[in-house]
Structure 1
Amino acid sequence: MLTIEETKRLLAVIKDDRLEAFWICALTLGLRCGELLGLRWEDIDFANGLLAVRQTLQRADGSLQFVDPKTDRSRRVVPASEPTLAALRKHKRAQAAEQLAAGKRWQNLGLVFPSTIGTPIEPGNLSTRWRATRKRAGLDWLRLHDLRHACASFLLASGASPRTVMKTLGHSQIGLTMNTYTHVLPDIERAAVDAVAKKLFG
């Protein structure tokens, strides 16, 4: 599992990367890659700190297509922390400059994480960029999907209920959440028991 120290090292490495906000959203919101690649600016409520998952980018019939989330629970609204929102605001300003530089080549699909001309990012290109990023952080073993797992583990370790984590990740069943993150639960149970004992006995 990704540790806090490793996460801080990763955050230092990705600072000012073109996809810094993408990596941060994967880590703090637990969204799947396809959900992030399908995210539009209209899906983000900056005023209330909320982000809606309404579509996902998938390869179908040999081409990239936007499709509905696979389950009702995958279609969800999740709260975003202020550092995540700040990264998204910074990303939006950088994207405006890219759009200006692209001129007529820019395809305005309203995507939060498009290519440099506004089109959907090819997942293979994203994977290549991620491998280079994790190498710079000295985390060659870290898969991009592991950021989603790290998000859930950090939430649980911070006291979030499994049902809250289930909602955040868009799991269809609580059993999936519990079975996937059983490695975190013993530490949470120990912390809960110790907290009660401290209240009772000082």
Structure 2
Amino acid sequence: MSKRRGHGEGSIHQRSDGRWCALVDLGIINGTRKRKYLYGDTRKEVAEKLKVALRDQQLGLMTVHENQTVTQFLTAWLEQSVKPTNKPSTHQSYRDIIKRHVEPAIGHIVLSKLTPQHIQALLTTLKAKQLSPRTVQYARAILHHALDQALKWGYVARNVVALVEAPRVERHTVEPLTEAQATALLQAVAGHRLEALYRIALGLGLRRGEVLALRWVDLDLKARTLRVAAGKTASSTRTLPLPATLVDALRAHEQQQAHERAEQGASWKEHGLVFPSEVGTPISGRNLLRHFKSVLTKLGLPATIRFHDLRHSCATFLIAQGVHPRVVMEILGHSQISVTMNTYGHVLPETQQDAVQKLDALLRRQPDDPAASS
């Protein structure tokens, strides 16, 4: 394969390790000649990067890219790449993790000088702050995604995050509420302005973000359906049937909200939400958790119970009632039935044992047994 550069491509050559490299002369900066190296697996890939680099150089942007810090890059990435192509909640989530955990540790480092050691130090720091393994893993995933884009834009020669092993996340042991605990919880919130929220979470297994994002346009109380439009993934978007008890709870909630809206008057901020704050604005997830924990304390229930365990309780109750796992999968909005089976497989043995016992009773029946013809 020829190593000579093509017309108009600039300085491109193939290295001894087989990778291709392009060189851009940035000129004299602060008395020193600066050069930028671009790398790729193919000549075409490097030629494309060089084309972008030469364009940026003509626009006077190359020096900025050469000296931009991790913070500067991530700020641009969030606005130019994440915000236009993702949900507002995703953009906000990425931004919060970056501002709170990534930038304080490595934001000052020049992007092109970022190393695997920097990433490892970041993860170690986050672990030392006693953040959950899932949060540490999430921060790494966001940074990995960002540096993939930096690689495509030609700002870095490699994605250093890919060279650092992801932290292990231990699977959380599912500890659903017992029937007695679930009953006590519903009794404790009876008459509270968020009673219907707890009934929806426990009765349909909605995630915290899904239930807080519910809008009245997502409900059809006449047809008794609820549409989850703000799902975690594409498979999370689903339409669920509403049992009579939830329809009654939502009708009562609708009347209570109308009363609150009238009392607030001009102070009410309408967002169309089913479960807004007392002035119509969205309820933050933290405020909901604060109320949930206060209910647990009042009932003397373990503080380790999470709001997400209401979702687990819904699934466990359904399976215990003999509902097929695929139906449970569709209600919960899982992407694959394997997710449902892996999460709630511990409930199946009891259900299977009950089913086998019923089948055994059927097979034991004699032809003259009255039950056999019923």
| TM-score, structure 2 normalization | 0.49
CA distance in 1, matches of 2:299, 2:221: 30
Aligned to 2:177: 2
Q: How far has the Cα of 1:70 moved from its partner?
A: 3.4
Aligned to 1:161: 324
Q: How far has the Cα of 1:122 moved from its partner?
A: 1.3
Aligned to 1:37: 212
CA distance in 2, matches of 1:12, 1:115: 22
Residue 238 (structure 2) aligned to one of 65, 68, 76: 76
CA distance in 2, matches of 1:18, 1:110: 16
Higher relative contact order (CA 8 A, sep 6+): 1
Q: How far has the Cα of 1:138 moved from its partner?
A: 2.1
Q: How far has the Cα of 1:16 moved from its partner?
A: 0.6
* 3-state SS of 2:280 partner: coil
Q: How far has the Cα of 1:85 moved from its partner?
A: 1.3
Residue 46 (structure 1) aligned to one of 210, 221, 235: 221
80-89 vs 147-156, greater mean Cα deviation: 80-89
Aligned to 2:277: 115
* 3-state SS of 1:78 partner: strand
Q: How far has the Cα of 1:151 moved from its partner?
A: 0.2
The 1:143–1:70 alpha-carbon spacing in structure 2 relative to 1, beyond 3 Å, is: closer
May I ask how many residue pairs the two structures share in their alignment?
189
* 3-state SS of 1:184 partner: helix
Residue 144 (structure 1) aligned to one of 307, 322, 341: 307
Per-residue CA deviations over 1:167-197 (Å, capped at 9, x if unaligned) read 0011011100000001101001101101111
State the one-letter code of the partner of 1:154: F
Aligned to 1:174: 337
Aligned to 2:102: none
* 3-state SS of 1:36 partner: helix
Aligned to 2:350: 187
Residue 18 (structure 1) aligned to one of 190, 193, 198: 193
CA distance in 1, matches of 2:297, 2:346: 26
State the one-letter code of the partner of 2:235: R
* 3-state SS of 2:323 partner: coil
Matched, 1:92 2:251: no
122-131 vs 147-156, greater mean Cα deviation: 122-131
CA distance in 1, matches of 2:332, 2:215: 18
Residue 28 (structure 1) aligned to one of 196, 203, 222: 203
Q: How far has the Cα of 1:86 moved from its partner?
A: 1.1
Per-residue CA deviations over 1:84-143 (Å, capped at 9, x if unaligned) read 111111111110011011111111111000011111001111111110112222213321
- The percentage of aligned residue pairs carrying the same residue is 46
Matched, 1:129 2:291: yes
Where does structure 1 differ by over 4 angstroms across 4 or more consecutive aligned residues?
A: none
Considering only CA atoms, is the larger Rg found in Structure 1 or Structure 2?
Answer: 2
Q: How far has the Cα of 1:38 moved from its partner?
A: 0.6
Per-residue CA deviations over 1:7-45 (Å, capped at 9, x if unaligned) read 111121111111111111000000001101110111111
| TM-score, structure 1 normalization | 0.90
Matched, 1:102 2:102: no
Aligned to 1:58: none
State the one-letter code of the partner of 1:98: E
Per-residue CA deviations over 1:42-88 (Å, capped at 9, x if unaligned) read 11111121100112xxxxxxxxxxxxx33221000011211111111
* 3-state SS of 2:235 partner: coil
CA distance in 2, matches of 1:3, 1:82: 22
State the one-letter code of the partner of 2:287: N
* 3-state SS of 1:52 partner: strand
